[in-house]
Structure formats: structure tokens, C-alpha cells
Structure 1
Amino acid sequence: MFNGLANWWDNAELWLAQLWFPLQFILVVAVLGPLCLGAAWLIDRIVDRIGAWFGSAPDRDSPPRS
């Protein structure tokens, strides 16, 4: 199984390396763009959840709300 996967990866890498550079760029942006946006969204959601979990301390300098 690993030999088949390694052969497939080598063929895909060779195909990509032999493409014209603008096509390489378009393919990389088309694949990495959504992946990076998804990772950024996921990180944002995780940070929001952790921030909500820890909560915020009341501001002692401001007057209390009514």
C-alpha cells in the first residue's frame, strides 16, 4: 500500500513540477487558499470558545451598569 501511495505522490509531484509556472501558482492558490481560510476560521472559533470559557473580569474602573 505504501509503495502505491509513494508512487502516486511521486507522479503527482512530477506532474506539478513540470507545469508552466502560472498554472502552478493558480493550482497552489486554489488548493491552499480554502485550506488557509478554513484553518483561520477554525482557529478563530477555538480562540472565541476559550475566551468565553475563561470569561472576562469586570472592569473595576468603570461604574456598574444598571
Structure 2
Amino acid sequence: MWSVRTIIDAWDAFELWLTQLPFLFQVVFVTVVVLPLCAGVAIGLDRITARFDRAPGPGTPDRRD
């Protein structure tokens, strides 16, 4: 089983590896990995929160009784 210390050590090793890369490779890594990952998280959160949105949709008549 993974402990918190194992996760922290793995993250530290990854961070050290990434910061020691030349700047061009850091930019490529961010462009190829981090930006699509952030976009995927944002799209997922948008879809999840849309399920809880109680505002009427574009085809739903507005009821103000």
C-alpha cells in the first residue's frame, strides 16, 4: 500500500527531473501534457456542474407564475 511519504517522494523526484530539463523541453512538456490535462479537468468539471444547474435551458420555456 502506498503511504503519503511514498507519494511525496515520487512527486519530489518528478519535480526535480522537470526543473532540471532545459527550458525548451519544459515548454514542450507543459504544452503537450499539462495544458490538455487542465483542459480535460475543466471540461469535466463543467459537465459535472451542468448537471446541477437549475437554470432553464435554451429550449425550456421560462415559467414566472
Same fold (TM over 0.5): yes
The number of equivalent residue pairs is 55
Instruction: Report the identity percentage.
Output: 33
Match of 2:13 among 8, 11, 14: 11
Q: Distance in 2 between matches of 1:31 and 1:9?
A: 16
The TM-score normalised by the length of structure 1 is 0.59
Computing the radius of gyration from Cα coordinates, the structure with the larger value is 1
Counterpart position of 1:57: 62
For residues 8-54 of structure 1, give each alpha carbon's deviation from its aligned partner in whole angstroms, at most 9, with x where no partner exists: 111111111100001011111222221232234231x344872xx43
Superposed counterparts of 1:26-45, under 5 Å? 26-42=28-44, 43=46, 45=47
The alignment yields a C-alpha RMSD, in angstroms, of 2.4
For 1:12, give the aligned amino acid: F
Stretches of structure 2 lacking an aligned partner (at least 5 in a row) = none
Instruction: Structure 1 unaligned segments of length 5 or more: list them.
Output: 59-66
For residues 5 and 19 of structure 1, the distance between their equivalents in structure 2, rounded to whole angstroms, comes to 22
Name the one with the larger helix percent.
1
Q: Which amino acid aligns with 1:2?
A: V
